[in-house]
Structure 1
Amino acid sequence: MTRNIRHAAVFCALLLVALVVNAARVQIVQKPEYDDNPANRRPDIARYQQPRGDILVGGGAVTGSRDTGEHLRFERTYADGPMYAPITGFASQAYGTTLLEHAEDGLLSGADPMLAPLPLWNDVTGAHNPGGDVVTTIHGAAQRAAFEGLGGRKGAVAAIEPATGRVLALVSTPSYDPQLLSGNSAAATRTWKRLNADPDKPMLNRAVSRTYPPGSTFKVVTAAAALEAGVIRDLDAPTRSPDPYTLPGTRTKLTNEADGCRNASLREAFEWSCNTVFAKLGVDVGVRGMTAMAEAFGFNDDGLRVPFPVARSTFDTSVDRAQLGLSSIGQYNTRATPLQMATVAAAVAGGGQVRSPYLVERTLRAGGSLVAAAGSRPSREVMRPSTAALLKELMTGVVDKGTGAKAAIPGATVGGKTGTAQHGVGNSGTPYAWFISWARGAGDIEPKVAVAVVVEGTASDRQGVSGGGLAAPIARAVMEAVLGG
């Protein structure tokens, strides 16, 4: 009898061990398979069972959460959704996440292991942490000035603090309200279909995800290359540039919108945006020198994240001399995001040093304790300080007595460069109006803000599309907002 009891006990123990092993297999080994199974709604239910952490601008939340009382309990809400959509993106129960909502999803949803009180605590206890908060670098008044300045036009604005790389404004229009996508209702589905079918592409982040021909704003890069290479040594010396300029190896004659560009000095050519002078300078510098300078500014870098990815701005390295001439005035295959062109202005404002732009200042736990901080970003030298000083002088001249007069701010020092970029076959596309700039307040030691604005013209106002007319006033409003605190 005792032996039978002993055998039964051993058998029960083996069954218990088998049960434990099977449970471990299901919960650990097969967990990813079950989590990824479309029929398993438990991860989604758990994900939306608590409020999501917030994205903050200037100490205030621009996001929130609404209790629906349903299985997927909490939906995302947005304050000033269209204005901040190019920063926040959306967090949708049906369509996932984008931009900051995606890049910081682990922290905002509470899934990030950094939020746990102890390592592996959540794995052992099954607990779920409250979502953390993301503090952005955005300057609320500058963001609003950019958004309202663009109004109903297609375009984008990017603003950077030159000394740190902090992104102060990031706007793209037309925009959309991300709150309309938060739930999984029929209304959210209709909104999704409408936004994706809209030819104006309101969900496209034109500030970081679209590249444009930068036109004459790229002449800042060409001027820097010419000064660094020693092709130009005196801002006021004649450049021996013909008008028109025949592109090397072709019969194509490049002309100017302005008069007086023949043999103009670099200062005069910069103030009045002489295509012939800068095309010839680019050819004189050569492909290697122009490529080195463009890449020093950040062109051809496909690894930039802020923390979401930024589209690669390009300078073609396999061009002949005629194509190089066009590339040097921001045409041919030269393309840039507004954030890249704000970085160009920031490098000049920063004395030849530039720091990579970033959008997240710090992340916090639900109670306010620090998870991580951005810290100081390493700088890289784009050009010699003496070259940057000369470019500051040139850009100041554009605003004081050139094509960028509408960006002037009383009591402040403002430097800028206008651009009207042609595109399409035979330049048939509606031009883009560009303006890049920086500003230093009367009481500031160094410039506080660098801005890039691009406005997409329309067929009806084709003749009125100009960087000085359309884009410069928007840049001025953004710079005033930052200088005003």
Structure 2
Amino acid sequence: MTKYIRRAAALCALLLLALLVNAARVQVVQSRAHDDNPANRRPAIARWGQPRGNIVVEGRAVTGSKDTGEQLRFERTYRDGPLYAPVTGFASQVYGTTFLEHAQDPLLDGSDPLLSFLPLWNDITRDRNAGGEVVTTLREAAQRAAYRGLGARRGAVAALEPATGRVLALVSRPSYDPGVLSGNGREAAEAWARLNADASKPMLNRAVRQTYPPGSTFKVVTAAAALDSGVVTDLDAPVRSPDPYTLPGTTTSLSNEVEGCENASLRYAFEWSCNTVFAKLGVDVGLGAMTDSARAFGFNDPGLRIPFSVAPSSFDTEMDRAQLALSSIGQYDTRATPLQMALVTAAVANGGSVRTPYLVERTTTASGRPVAGSGAHPLRQAMNPTTARRLRELMRGVVEDGTGANAALRHATVGGKTGTAQHGIGNSGTPFAWFIGWAQSDDAIEPEVAVAVVVEDAEAVRGDISGGGDAAPIAREVMRAVLKTSG
């Protein structure tokens, strides 16, 4: 009898061991597969079972959460959704997350281990902390000025603090309300279909995800390369440049919209945007030096994040001399985001050096305990300090005596560069209007804001669109807003 009891006990022990091994296999070895199984709703229920942390602009939350009472309990809400959509993105129970909602998702949904004093305990209990807060670098007044300035037109604005790299404004129009995508019902599905079918692409973040030919605003880069390389040494000396200029190796002639560009000085050519002068300067500088200068300003960098990714701006590294001439005036294959052109302006304003831009000042727990600061932001030299000083002088001339008069501000020094970029087959598209500029209050020791504006209004009459007429007034109001809040 004892023998059978021992056998039964051994069998039970074996079955218990098998049960433990199987439980370990399911809970440890296969846990990731079960977690990622689309049929497993537990992660989604836990994710939306508590309010998300908030995104904050100047001390006020521009996001929130509402209790729906459903299984996926809390939906994301937005204050001034269209105004901040290029920054916040959306957090949808069906369509995922974008922009800051995506880049800071673990902190906002409470799963970031840094939110807890005992992260290992949370891993064991599967508990979530309350969502943390993301404090942005935005200035509300500048954001509103950019949004209001663009109005119903398509385009984008990016504004930076030159000395630090803080993003002060990031606007894209047309925009949309991210809140319409938050839920999981029919309304969210209809909104998703409508927004994706809209030809104006309201969900496209034109400030950081759309590249444009920068047109004459790229002449800042060409001028920097010419001055750094010694091709030009005197701003007021005549530059050997015919008008019209025949592109090297071709019979194609390049002309100007203004008079006086033949053998003009760099100052005159910059203030009145002489295409022939800058096209020839680019050829004289050479492809290698032009490429190096563009790269120093941030072109051809696929790794820029603010913290969400930014589309790389491009300057072709393999061109013939005719193509280089066109690229040097911001045409051919040269492309730039508005954020990139704000970086170009910031480099001029900051003595030739440029800070990596950033949008998040700090992150905190729900109770306000710091989680992470903005960290160190790399500084790179885009040009010699002497070259930057001369470019600031040239950019002041554009506003005081040239094509950028509409950007002028009282009680402030303003520098800028206008641009009208051709595009489309045979340049048949409505030109994009550009303005880049910086501003410094009379009582400030350094420029306080650098801004880039692009207007791509397809409804505009071709002859009525220009950087000075369309984009400069928008930049002026953004700069005015920043200077008022800085004082």
1:217 is aligned to 217
Distance in 2, matches of 1:13 and 1:40, equals: 32
User: 1:458: which partner in 2?
Assistant: 458
What secondary structure does 2:461 align onto? helix
Task: Indicate the residue corresponding to 2:58 in structure 1.
Answer: 58
> Aligned partners of 2:63 and 2:72: how far apart in 1?
18
> How far apart, CA to CA, are the structure 1 residues paired with 2:45 and 2:85?
25
What is the CA distance between 1:7 and its match in structure 2?
4.4
Q: Distance between the aligned counterparts of 1:41 and 1:327, measured in 2?
A: 53
**2:235 counterpart SS class:** coil
Tell me what 2:393 maps to.
393
Match of 2:101 in 1: 101
Partner of 2:174: 174
In 1, Cα distance between the equivalents of 2:471 and 2:201? Answer: 21
> Matches of 2:104 and 2:88 in 1, distance apart?
10
Deviation at 1:8, TM superposition (A): 4.0
For the residues of structure 2 that align with 1:363 and 1:262, how far apart are their CA atoms? 55
**Residue number in structure 1 paired with 2:411:** 411
Shift of 1:321: 0.6
Q: Which residue of 1 aligns with 2:187?
A: 187
For residue 3 of structure 1, report the CA deviation from its aligned partner. Answer: 5.2
TM-score by length of structure 2 reads 0.98
1:117 maps to amino acid: F
3-state SS in 2 of match to 1:484: helix
Partner of 1:351: 351
CA RMSD of aligned residues (A): 1.1
Equivalent residue letter for 1:276? T
Q: Which residue of 2 aligns with 1:236?
A: 236
Question: Which position in structure 1 is the counterpart of 2:483?
Answer: 483
- Counterpart position of 1:473: 473
Count of residues paired in the alignment: 485
Alignment check: 8 A CA contact 2:158 2:207 kept: yes
Q: Cα offset for 1:9? A: 4.0
Q: Which moved more, 1:21-30 or 1:200-209?
A: 21-30
5 Å-filtered alignment, 1:58-457, equals 58-457=58-457
Deviations 1:180-225 (A, max 9, x none): 0000110110100000000000000000000000000000000000
Deviation (angstroms), 1:15: 3.0
Contact 1:88 1:101 survives alignment (8 Å)? yes
Amino acid in the other structure paired with 1:250: T
CA distance in 1, matches of 2:482, 2:17: 67
Q: 1:234 & 1:103 partners in 2: Cα distance?
A: 47
- Secondary structure of the structure 2 residue equivalent to 1:183: coil
Deviation at residue 123 of structure 1 after TM alignment: 1.6
- Equivalents in 2 of 1:115, 1:98: separation in Å? 21
Indicate conservation of the 8 Å contact 1:313/1:337, yes or no.
yes
SS in 2 for 1:120: helix
The 1-side partners of 2:218 and 2:8 are apart by: 85
TM-score normalized with structure 1 length: 0.98
CA shift digits 1:396-430 (9 cap, x unpaired): 00011111011011010110000000011111011
Distance (whole Å) between structure 2 residues aligned to residue 249 and residue 364 of structure 1? 60
Q: Is the 8 A contact 1:164 1:376 kept in 2?
A: no
Which residue type is aligned with residue 310 of structure 1?
Answer: V
- Give, in whole Å, the separation in 2 of the partners of 1:215 and 1:468: 13
Paired residue type of 1:224: A
Q: Which amino acid is 2:370 matched to?
A: L
What is the DSSP-based 3-state SS (H/G/I as helix, E as strand, rest coil) of the residue aligned with 2:217?
Answer: helix
State the AA in 1 paired with 2:62. Answer: V
SS, match of residue 72 in structure 1: coil
Cα-to-partner distance string for 1:131-173 (whole Å, 9 max, x where unaligned): 1111111111111110011010000000011111111110000
Q: Give the secondary structure class of the aligned counterpart of 1:351.
A: coil
Residue identity matched to 1:426: G
Secondary structure at 1:35's aligned position in 2? helix
* Distance in 2 (alpha carbons) for counterparts of 1:431 and 1:331: 12
Q: Deviations over 1:44-66 (max 9, x none)?
A: 11110000011111111000000
Unpaired runs of at least 5, structure 1: none
Q: Which runs of 4+ in 1 moved over 6 A?
A: none
Output the CA distance in 1 between the equivalents of 2:123 and 2:375: 30
Deviation at 1:4, TM superposition (A): 4.7
Q: 1:2 deviation in Å?
A: 5.1
CA-to-aligned-CA distance 1:266-324 (integer Å, 9 cap, x gap): 00000000000000100000100100000000001111111111001000111111111
Could you list the runs of 5+ residues in structure 2 that have no partner in the other structure? none
- Identity fraction in percent: 71
Say which SS state the counterpart of residue 235 (structure 1) adopts: coil
Q: Which amino acid in the other structure matches residue 217 of structure 1?
A: T
- Does the CA contact (< 8 Å) of 1:75 and 1:182 recur in 2? yes
Letter aligned with residue 399 of structure 2: V
CA distance in 2, matches of 1:294, 1:434: 18
Q: Which 10-residue stretch deviates more, 232-241 or 5-14?
A: 5-14
Deviation of 1:6 after TM superposition, in Å, equals 4.6
CA contact (8 A) 2:430 2:460 kept: no
